[in-house]
Amino acid sequence: MTNHVLLNNVDHKDLRIITTRSADLGDDVMFAPTFPGEFRSVQAHYPIVFRKMADGQFQPLALFGFQEKQNLFLGPRGWDATYVPLMIERLPFLIGRSDQQLMVHVDLDSPRVSRTTGEPVFLTHGGSSEFLERMNSVLLAIHEGFEGTPPFVAQLLEYQLLESFVLDIELANGSQNRLTGFYTLNEERLTGLSGFALERLSKAGHLQAAYMAIASLANFRALIERQNRLHAGTH
């Protein structure tokens, strides 16, 4: 369940947010939405794939595991990567609208919300804490980033660069696994585009993001190795 309310320094003056990473706090997720402006940071650790939403739109994702509620980056010491995608970092905050203005909301039912431990949201006299200022910048980056996703995806579709893929995985213990239901960029088709098409992608700021998404697929090897270590009982 969720309980999204408008954040304010009266009702939430003593609100604190637990920032450690664990399954108990809701980090046991297979993926998180991302956006082209974040691809450079995301591709350093995670495969970037796309999924087709119910409305037919495509959403880029940072992939953490191979099945529902599996996050192979969660370990005994928390999140095992130097970059945590913004859609994970922002929790339990989100952006809502009030009189057409963007406002910060908080999910009071989140296990991250506390009154006794964690990062304070407000200062003693009601001002925003450094932590809240950081969350404000994260939420703004997400909002602006998601606005840039539809035109990026539209060009990928225009040039037929997205294709469904199936990943067959054989683990060290001999077990067979299959990842399906996602899409990736076709590198051969991208490099075979005309100069005019590549220039269009570049001028729109989409060409670099496309190559970042392609480069990120090399992380599948590391993700499979994490799965092997999990089966072997090590981290």
Measure Cα distances from 169 to 148, 166, 174, 194 in Å: 33, 10, 10, 35
The domain segmentation of the chain, as residue ranges, is: 4-232
Per-residue pLDDT at 132: 97
Torsion-angle region of 78 (φ positive above 0: left; ψ -120 to 50: alpha; else: beta): left
Per-residue pLDDT at 234: 53
Q: Per-residue pLDDT for 2 more than 90?
A: no
Per-residue pLDDT at 125: 86
Q: What is the C-alpha to C-alpha distance for residues 24 and 41, in angstroms, rounded to an integer?
A: 26
Per-residue pLDDT at 100: 76
Q: What is the pLDDT of residues 65-96, one digit of tens each?
A: 999 999 999 988 899 999 999 999 999 999 98
Q: State the pTM of this model.
A: 0.92
Residues contacting residue 42 through CB under 8 Å, at least 6 positions apart: 34, 48, 62, 83, 85, 212, 216
Q: Which residue has the tokens 């509620």?
A: 69
Residues contacting residue 199 through CB under 8 Å, at least 6 positions apart: none
* 44-59: average pLDDT: 96
